[in-house]
Amino acid sequence: MKPKYIFCTGGVVSSVGKGLTVAAIGRILKARGLKVAIQKLDPYLNVDPGTMSPYQHGEVFVTADGAETDLDLGHYERFVDENVSRLSNVTAGQVYLTVIEKERKGDYLGGTIQVVPHITNEIKRCIKLVAKRTDADIVIVEVGGTAGDIESLPFLEALRQLRTELTRRDSLYVHVTFLPHIGATDELKTKPTQHSVRELRGIGIQPNVIIARTDHPVNDDIINKIALFCDVDESAVIPLETADNIYAVPLMIEATGLGDYILDRFKLQAGAPDLHEWRQIVSRSRRVKEKLRIGIVGKYVELHDAYMSVKESIIHAAIHLDNDAQIKWIHSGDLEKGRASNALLELDGILVPGGFGYRGIEGKIAAARFARENSVPYLGLCLGMQVMCIEFARNVLGLEDANSSEFDVSTAHPVIDLMLEQRAITDMGGTMRLGEYPCELMPGSLAANAYQRSAVNERHRHRFEFNNDYRDHFDRRGVCFSGLSPDGVLVEIAELQDHPFMLGCQFHPEFLSRPNRPHPLFSTFVRASAAFRDAKAQMQGTLHSGVESGDLS
């Protein structure tokens, strides 16, 4: 069967949850037994977001095949529950790079290289490649940014060209807009949506479906008005109110009838939607239950998007253990200055996520020390494992200036050091140890018990690793290296023996957690945190703070 394409653009403003909406559409189509692939086209000129600041871009999502991609791909994997590949994120930077490299090789035989047709052809090639490689029934293609952005024009032009190349039954254009609310008159306004559709039409695209995001209920008058002014069927104007729970979005979209509308338009036969498991997740997450306070200690905590998959993984694990995860965002810089140390006292579990660069490191080390000394469950992800080892070296092994050579190149004790194969690398883009690698687990360890397996595959993104010169020393004092690369060379998991749950992994388990299948390390961490909370309640808070600003020399 020829693949069908859903092209999804945004209008009016950004940050209305277009990526989530697309992921949710993917879910309701998959629920009908269709094979769905999703792709994000990002109009910026970076080749990938790997070198961008989390302040600019949020989390970098790593695919199994080692691509550093947009965080929307995380939503796609969590909602559709299919692994995407590097083909699912195309940036203008990649497109231009490919075209210019071909030009340098002389592939264009003396032609003048232009945005149309060369750049647009390359964009269309990338879109069709996803369909070919995944053998999907439906490919959903999301264009980043909003209609009217200068840099998205070549992408929209490519979509316009595809409209004529594909038949009417093979393509559908969805435009996601926003309805602002005027408080004084208590009205929702459709004018920005009308303007945004006019902008698209100017480019030659007439949307078939309009998803109107809003924070307020939408009445029929508004729907009729959008349908009339934007020339879209009334049944294809889909109001989508902000949800209290992102996992409810597929159910909300299903309830609008959009799934059947899409199938009808494509003349596709498919089964009735099976959203049973999904409904269970949502109703379970809404049940009233005990609060569990998990602290995420990072340097970008004011921007929660920087830790998107970590946050969602905690939520998944908590839902399945009938706990209400209350995420406490703790700035590692504040801990360094001794300002947030009281916040640690309130926590039931501490998580130190991945990160780069020295800023805030001493605060993360202080958090690891607090967790170790006070038996607070601790999960360290990538950098979080590295700071756990630095803290142990400094305060248990007595190696006072122990550090990572990432933060202090002249430290006498580089317990974390640059990986051998990274030493000659000078380019920053796409050169880390990236993607899925196998890891063997030590029988009887916390990790092996959590996974209930002897070997796993996990996704990586790092340049530094545990320095094997220190393995015996750590081992003798109670650190178990419970996960190793199959050749035994790379430490992938370290855990403390004399602690209820203090575990760090060099990989990023957060990329594998799904709402219907929480990751075993997160589940075990959340379970340990709930046990710690319950024990603490019994002991009536005899805990004392180990973090004083004076400790942070």
The binding site for ligand GLN (CB under 6 A) comprises 354-356, 382-383, 406, 461-464
Residue 34 or 491: which CB sits closer to ligand GLN?
Answer: 491
Please, what is the minimum distance in Å from the beta carbon of residue 59 to ligand GLN?
11
Q: Residues 61, 71: contact at Cβ < 8 Å?
A: yes
Q: Quick check: is 510 catalytic?
A: yes
276 is catalytic: no
Cα distances (Å, whole numbers) of residue 462 to 232, 274, 406, 466: 48, 39, 11, 11
Going through 254-400 in order, the beta strands assigned E by DSSP cover 290-298, 323-331, 349-352, 378-381
Query: Considering the complex, what minimum distance in angstroms separates the CB of residue 139 from ligand GLN?
Result: 30
Q: What is the DSSP string of 147-216?
A: TT-STTHHHHHHHHHHHHHS-GGGEEEEEEEE--EETTTTEE--HHHHHHHHHHHHHT---SEEEEEESS
Contact by Cβ (8 Å): 461, 68: yes
Which residue number, 74 or 354, has a Cβ lying nearer to ligand GLN?
354
- Between CA 103 and CA 226 the distance in angstroms is 45
Catalytic residue among 57, 320, 508, 519: 508
User: To the nearest whole angstrom, how small is the minimum distance from the Cβ of residue 479 to ligand GLN?
Assistant: 18
Distance CA 434, CA 507 (A): 10
| Residue 424 burial (CB count, 10 A) | 6
Distance of alpha carbon 512 from alpha carbon 520, whole angstroms? 10
- What DSSP string runs through 105-138? HTTTTTPPP-IIIIIHHHHHHHHHHHHHHHT-SE
Nearer to ligand GLN, 213 or 462 (CB): 462
Closest CA to 145 of 226, 58, 40, 63: 40
Catalytic residue, chosen from 77, 254, 510, 519, is 510
Name the closest residue to ligand GLN (Cβ).
Answer: 354
Query: What are the angstrom distances between the C-alpha of 550 and each of 336, 361, 400?
Result: 10, 16, 15
Tracing tokens 């990023």 back to the chain, one arrives at 508
Do the beta carbons of residue 295 and residue 351 sit within 8 Å? yes
User: Of the two residues 75 and 462, which places its CB atom closer to ligand GLN in the complex?
Assistant: 462
Question: Cα–Cα distance between 82 and 80 in angstroms, integer?
Answer: 6
d(CA 411, CA 416): 10
Q: Which is nearer to ligand GLN, 409 or 535 (CB)?
A: 409
Nearer to ligand GLN, 96 or 507 (CB): 507
Smallest gap, in angstroms, from Cβ of residue 105 to ligand GLN? 34
Rounded to a whole number of angstroms, the CA Rg of the chain reads 25
- Scanning 456-519, the segments in alpha helix (DSSP H) are 471-476
Dihedral Cα 312, 318, 322, 327, nearest 10 deg: -90
The residues pairing with 461 across neighbouring beta strands, listed in sequence order, are 434
Rounded Cα–Cα distance for residues 1 and 382 (Å): 43
Residue 115 or residue 420: which is nearer to ligand GLN going by CB? Answer: 420
Q: Which is nearer to ligand GLN, 54 or 349 (CB)?
A: 54
Is 382 an annotated catalytic residue?
A: yes
CB closer to ligand GLN out of 5 and 474? 474
- Answer whether 352's CB lies under 8 Å from 476's CB: no
In this structure, the number of other CB atoms found within 10 A of the CB of residue 33 comes to: 13
The one catalytic residue among 8, 230, 382, 389: 382
Within its chain, how far is the Cα of 347 from the centroid?
24
Give catalytic residues, as residue numbers: 382, 508, 510
